[in-house]
Each structure stands twice: as structure tokens, then as C-alpha cells.
Amino acid sequence: MDVYKITGENRLQGTIKVSGAKNSAVALIPASILANSPVTIGGIPEISDAWTLKALLEEIGGEVTFVDGKMVIDPTQMVDLPLPNGNVKKLRASYYLMGAMLGRFKKAVIGLPGGCFLGPRPIDQHIKGFEALGAKITNEHGAIYLRAEELIGAKIYLDIASVGATINIMLAAVLAKGRTVIENAAKEPEIIDVATLLTNMGAKIKGAGTSVIRIDGVEELHGTEHTIIPDRIEAATFMVMAAAVGDGITIDNVIPLHLEAIIAKLREMGVKIEVGEESIFVPKTDLSTLQAVDVKTLVYPGFPTDIQQPLSVLMTQASGSSKVTDTIYTARFKHIDELRRMNANARVEGNTAMITGPSKLEGSTVTATDLRAGAALVLAGLLAEGETEIQEIYHIERGYSALIEKLRDLGADIRRETTMASTVDTQE
């Protein structure tokens, strides 16, 4: 079993570069299926999700190279092979293969997707969109079967502003006949990124980044070159880390506009932040002046659910009681039990976590239950006295590229080790 071992209380300093956006990459790679010639995507993070998607495209006949963050995908020989299990189960975003394969082949068989367990994350809105475009969808033996004679543009109202459903319907609609209108569409920057790639491939899309997206179907899409946007969640994770253990850290390759909710909340806590054009500098923070805050997660441009877990670590150092209410994923508080092992004063009531500080965190053996919980535990380990061992790190490596190297360059004492598998006692 591979684990991270962190010796805490080292101050970090220097510049850390943000990788391309995970949540863009996992949609841009499947989008390449829709082209009739090679697609080149630059800036893809070297994360396990990207390698899994590469393998899935190769399974259906794609030729794919992935070197130094650049993925070149030749989709010309792809066929509509069923993908009932195997790699599909490794990541939730494999559902984008549904929209892309339905758009290109008018049929697909995709196993129910995997990924982090964060409570109910139904794909009913995706299915509703596909059905509106004319597809027949059945669930047979744990796989989703999608079939359409042809896809015809439709007006689709999303009951919730789901990023996944918005992107998936876009993928299916770009080659459909006529106009598709997605109402109550999600507005996340990753949606604009996918729309930009599709537009460069010849799609006709208006309104990405607003609540109404209009798509006029085209006959075919061609290959193109595209560079992914920076990962705003990784950038925000590093900002929280800089506030907690930094002696002056520059976070490079960011789009500050994407980080406004996080910048505002950190400033409310008492963190100083200097915003440049494509970088953010966080000077040394005096933890004794940190103030407790209340956070409520919302869809973009609100405070991202992905950052409440790392931020909760900083809250353990603030004076007073902080409150985190997660309106997006109710099961996103598994890190609280792990932080309590490290001496945090925290509890969960329903969809709210209460964190009272300041607490002196102590090194312990903890488990990353999901991707962002893992990021939170890395931050806690950097802050804590003594050594922290983090288990089940594959969750972290699904979304953070070269994390150990990046942190060591700043002066962190963190290493990856293979240990004999042992179970952590999870009794309270």
C-alpha cells in the first residue's frame, strides 16, 4: 500500500505552478471523439483520471499519445464498442463518453461511472437531456444503453444546474439536427473551456458561461489545437496552504476571476492576498489573527464545494467557531473524523460542520476518503506537529498532478512510501 508521510511544521516559501484543470480535462478528452481528424489538447494534468481516459479512447480504437501534458488524439478509427466496466468504473467523468459517443455514433453502451463517493450524484439530468434529443435509454445489467435513429435539437430545462449534465448534453447536441437550447445550464469556467474546444472544432455554441446555452447542430467537426484552463480548485488549495504554512508563496498560472469567492472568504478570515494578472501572492499570515467564518457552498460563481474541505483545515487555526454548510454534496464531511484524530475540535450535524479553533494539530495516521478530503489531510499534515501518514492516496492522485514534487520545491517534508497494508482502527 502506498502512503504519504509528512513531517509537519516546516514553513513553505517560493513559487508553485498550477496545472491544467482536472474538471476540464475529463470532459475535453472525451469531446475529441466527435472530431473527424486529430485533436491536440495542451496543459492536461498528469493525473490518473487522464491516463484512464486515454486507455478508454484506445479501447474504442483511438490513437492517443500523452507526453509532457500534451495529449494528441486521432479519433478517425474509433468504433462504437461497448464499455460496460473496467476503466469506466475508475472515474465518474467516464459519463462524458455517453454524450460524445451518442453524438458521433448515435449509440453507446457505458458502465455506470465510478469516482469518489460524495453522496447521491444521479445522472438523471443527463438522461433527460439525451431523451429530449431523441435517444432511447435503458439500464441493462448495470450498464447504460443509449440508442438513437437520429438526434434532433430540443429545448431542455435542467432541474438542477449540473456541470456534468450541461457538458454531456452539449457533447450530444453539437452534431444533432437543428437547434438545442439548454436552460438553467451550469456556468462553471470548465463549461466555457469545453465550449471553446468544440467551437474551435467547428461547433456553433452561444451562451456558454450563462444560464442559457444555444447550440446549432453542424454536419461534422474537425480536429483542432486547444490549451486547457488552469485548475481553479488546485489554485485555491494552494492559497489555503499558503495561508496556513507559508512564508510568502506565489501561486502561478491562475485566472483570478475564477477564484473571487475563495479570495473574498480568505480575506474575511484575515489572510492578505495580492492579485496579479496570472498569479496570486499570499504573504506570511499571522495565524493568531485568523478569524472564524461561515461558509456555504454554492454552484459557480459561489464558494466551491471542492474547497470547503481544505478550508476547514485553516478554520482549525482561526479563533472562534466556523461553520461550513455544504448544499452540493451532503457526504462531503468524511475528512472531519480524520481531522479529529489530529486533535481538531470539529463535529458534523446534518449538512453542516462546526469547527472551533485554534487547535494544535498533531500528526496521526489518517485515510483519504475522497479527492478533496485527501488534499485537506495533506494540508493538515503540513501544519501538524510530528509525522502524519495518509492512506488511500490514489484518491489524491486522481486530481493533483505532481503534488509531492511541487510541495517539496517549497520546502515541505513529504514523501511517498510503500508500506505493509495495515488497517486503521476507525472506532471512536
What would the 3-class secondary structure string for 322-389 be? EEEEECCCCCCCHHHHHHHHCCCEEEEECCEEEEEECCCCECCEEECCCHHHHHHHHHHHHHCECEEE
Selected catalytic residue, list 57, 73, 110, 116: 116
Closest CA to 55 of 16, 98, 90: 90
User: In angstroms, rounded to a whole number, what is the distance separating the alpha carbons of residues 400 and 375?
Assistant: 8
- Name the strand (E) or helix (H) holding 236: helix 232-245
Smallest Cα–Cα separation from 337: which of 231, 426, 219, 229? Answer: 426
Helix (H) or strand (E) holding 168: helix 163-173
User: Hey, what amino acid is at 170?
Assistant: M
22 marked as part of a ligand binding site: yes
Residue with cell 501518514: 389
Nine cell digits for residue 24: 476540464
Is 306 annotated as a binding-site member? Answer: yes
42 an active-site residue?
A: no
CA distance 16 to 78: 38
| 341 annotated to a ligand binding site | no
Alpha carbons 93 and 204: distance in angstroms, whole number: 24
Query: Distance (Å, rounded) from C-alpha 116 to C-alpha 130?
Result: 24
121 annotated among ligand-binding-site residues? yes
Q: Is 179 annotated as a binding residue?
A: no
Query: Is 2 part of any known ligand binding site?
Result: no
Q: Is 92 annotated as a binding residue?
A: yes
Binding residue numbers for phosphoenolpyruvate: 22-23
Binding residue numbers for UDP-N-acetyl-alpha-D-glucosamine: 92, 121-125, 306, 328
**Residues annotated catalytic, as ranges:** 116
Binding residue numbers: 22-23, 92, 121-125, 306, 328
